[in-house]
């Protein structure tokens, strides 16, 4: 598990040593895993906002812990509220703006990107007076171009991004982290940390396309001390 602290924000990317998904692990173990995470983060209460992820562009504003609805992005200005995205091949994107104390999390597969989740984020940030250029972004582990074979029609959704596709033995592969990076740079982002780890061919991560045994979390938490 990778924990990055940049006060007041903490960024967490888990791996396959801990399963946080009720769908693939017993509720008792998942509960224990969340309690252990709370200890690790040294916080009194772990208040988490999460979504039912649907591979679209919808970004919701979280005001409280618990289920927020259907969508693929969360933002908040609330202190001590964690935003959580579950992943197993799609790329999780976490971000924060220290000036305006806003944090956010996105679930980025090709469908969310084709639907315009990054462009939607730009609109939301502008509306709130937040500059993408002053916001720090983190891309967690996801399926990388070594393994991400896509059907040829996927290319039509990203005609402006030919450098994100590569042919090998007449098979088409998509570089999802690169596509996200270029889209973020297009909206003015300057600071993008990319873990550059592939969930499918690394033995360290859950992968939907490789056995589908669990989910990683990408969590951003706003502490007060």
Tokens of 22: 């009720």
Compare residues 71 and 142 and give the one whose CB is closer to Zn ion.
142
Q: Please report whether residue 201 would count as binding Zn ion according to CB under 5 A.
A: yes
Q: Looking only at residues 169 through 198 of this chain, which bind Zn ion when binding is defined by CB under 5 A?
A: 198
Please state the closest distance from residue 143 (CB atom) to Zn ion, in A.
7
Q: List Cβ neighbours of 203 (8 Å cut-off, separation of 6 or more).
A: 16
Single residue of 78, 107, 183, 200 touching Zn ion by CB under 5 A: 200
Q: Report the C-alpha gap between 111 and 90 in whole angstroms.
A: 10
Compare residues 5 and 211 and give the one whose CB is closer to Zn ion.
211
Compare residues 177 and 214 and give the one whose CB is closer to Zn ion.
177
Single residue of 54, 147, 172, 182 touching Zn ion by CB under 5 A: 147
Beta strands in the chain (DSSP E): 2-6, 9-13, 48-52, 59-61, 66-70, 73-76, 82-87, 91-97, 102-108, 136-139, 165-168, 171-174, 191-194, 216-222
Compare residues 144 and 216 and give the one whose CB is closer to Zn ion.
144
Stretch that binds Zn ion, among 113-121, 139-147, 155-163, 164-172 (CB under 5 A): 139-147
Tokens of 148: 């991400």
Please state the closest distance from residue 86 (CB atom) to Zn ion, in A.
20
Handedness of CA 215, 205, 179, 132 (dihedral sign): positive
User: Which residues of this protein are in contact with Zn ion, per CB under 5 A?
Assistant: 144, 146-147, 198, 200-201
């Amino acid at each position: 598990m990778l924990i990055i602290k940049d006060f007041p924000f903490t960024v967490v990317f888990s791996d396959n040593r801990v399963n946080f998904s009720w769908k693939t692990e017993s509720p008792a173990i998942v509960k224990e895993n969340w309690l252990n995470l709370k200890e690790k983060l040294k916080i009194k209460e772990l208040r988490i906002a999460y979504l039912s992820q649907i591979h679209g562009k919808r970004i919701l504003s979280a005001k409280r812990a618990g289920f927020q609805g259907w969508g693929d992005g969360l933002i908040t200005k609330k202190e001590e509220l964690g935003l959580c995205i579950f992943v197993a091949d799609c790329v999780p994107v976490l971000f924060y703006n220290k000036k305006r104390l806003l944090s956010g999390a996105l679930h980025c597969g090709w469908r969310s990107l084709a639907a315009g989740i990054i462009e939607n984020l730009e609109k939301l940030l502008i509306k709130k007076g937040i500059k993408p250029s002053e916001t720090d972004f983190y891309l967690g582990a996801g399926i990388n171009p070594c393994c991400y074979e896509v059907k040829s029609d996927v290319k039509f959704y990203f005609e402006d991004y030919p450098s994100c596709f590569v042919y090998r033995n007449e098979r088409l592969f998509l570089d999802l982290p690169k596509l996200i990076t270029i889209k973020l740079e297009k909206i003015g982002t300057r600071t993008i940390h990319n873990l550059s780890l592939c969930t499918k061919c690394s033995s360290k991560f859950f992968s939907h396309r490789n056995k589908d045994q669990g989910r990683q979390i990408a969590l951003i938490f706003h502490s007060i001390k």
